Chain A
Amino acid sequence: MSSLITKVRLKQIEALLEKGKRLDDRSLTDYREIQIEQGVIEKAEGSARVLLGKTQVLVGVKVETGEPFPDTPNDGVMTVNAELVPLASPNFEPGPPDENSIELARVVDRGIRESHAIDTEKLCIEPGKKVFVVFVDIYVLNHDGNLIDASAIAAVAALMNTKMPNYEIKDGELKIKQGYSQLPMKVHPVTVTMGKIANKLLVDPWIEEESVMDSRITFASNADGNICAIQKGGSSYFTPQQILDASKIALEKAAELRKKFNW
């Protein structure tokens, strides 16, 4: 976006913020409308599509067998990947993943990993040799801001929707049986992202706000109201007080979302 437009927009946004308002008529702590649709990809073990305002994210989950990491021989493996599809935004280019898509995948990954969302011990087939590997693939279909929350919600919704093949071990060989069972999950983490513009915290920044915001902070939390992962992003700073304020807002919003989704 050209810097002149950005400056004009920033002034407009700042003037509105003074009155506690935003460009799209939300209050500072309002989310845009969220829609979750599960099981949208037939060929995947699990999938979900999330609409957060006009931001649209599709997540597919694939379950395969593979080797565990040497330091966690009894645990299944989860990997998160994100792809910013060029049709989602004029700023997304085809080619190898750039830092934005890597950051997106990392933040979503940590929310799920650190909250121990997946019961990885139940994914172990043969300790140290064979475990289930869960691939979470994020596809951003339309970018209208706050990809992190949209992707994190979609990833958890897709995992909740994931079916694993039934199996048995016969003479040391893995045999896939008929039928499926639910992917074992312990926690459904909820991720809340805030942006900072003119020293004010805004929940769920959309693209116009993202283009002018100073910095961003993301909190993932579990159903007990504990914080599981935090990531600060952007080049500017937060004061310690703003961080504590942000953590309170994040936990409140997470509880609200949890209620809404029935998680």
Chain B
Amino acid sequence: MVVDLFDAEDKLGAADVPVAYMPNLNAVTLLQMDGILAPDEFEKAVNMAMEGCKQIYTMQKEALKTKYMVVKEVEE
């Protein structure tokens, strides 16, 4: 099971699960699944997707911080 799949993985994979998640609210706002997954595999997939979302969330926060820290310095 992998996150951030590339073309071949997407085409050859048995199932895919796109998830959108808001880490601050612990809220899943989008969930779709195509393909066949056993219940325990599904649980693992959801947990992996959550972890992936959290990683992206920290990166987004970092990116925004870096960008606006610079602007602030210029203004001063």
Binding site for B on A (CB under 8 A): 110, 114-115, 217, 222, 225-232, 237-240, 243-244, 247-248, 251
Contacts and interface: CB of A to CB of B under 8 A. Distances in A.
Interface string B1-27: 000000000000000010001100111
A114 B22 CA distance: 28
B39 A247 contact: yes
Given A227-B33, A237-B22, A251 B39 contact: yes
A225 B72 CA distance: 56
Contacts of A244: 43, 46
B31 A243 contact: yes
Given A232-B28, A247-B42, A226 B37 contact: yes
30 contacts: A110-B34, A114-B35, A115-B36, A222-B36, A225-B38, A225-B39, A226-B36, A226-B37, A226-B39, A227-B37, A227-B38, A227-B39, A227-B42, A228-B36, A229-B33, A230-B31, A230-B32, A231-B31, A232-B28, A237-B28, A238-B27, A238-B28, A239-B28, A240-B26, A240-B47, A243-B28, A243-B46, A244-B46, A247-B43, A251-B39
A243 B34 CA distance: 16
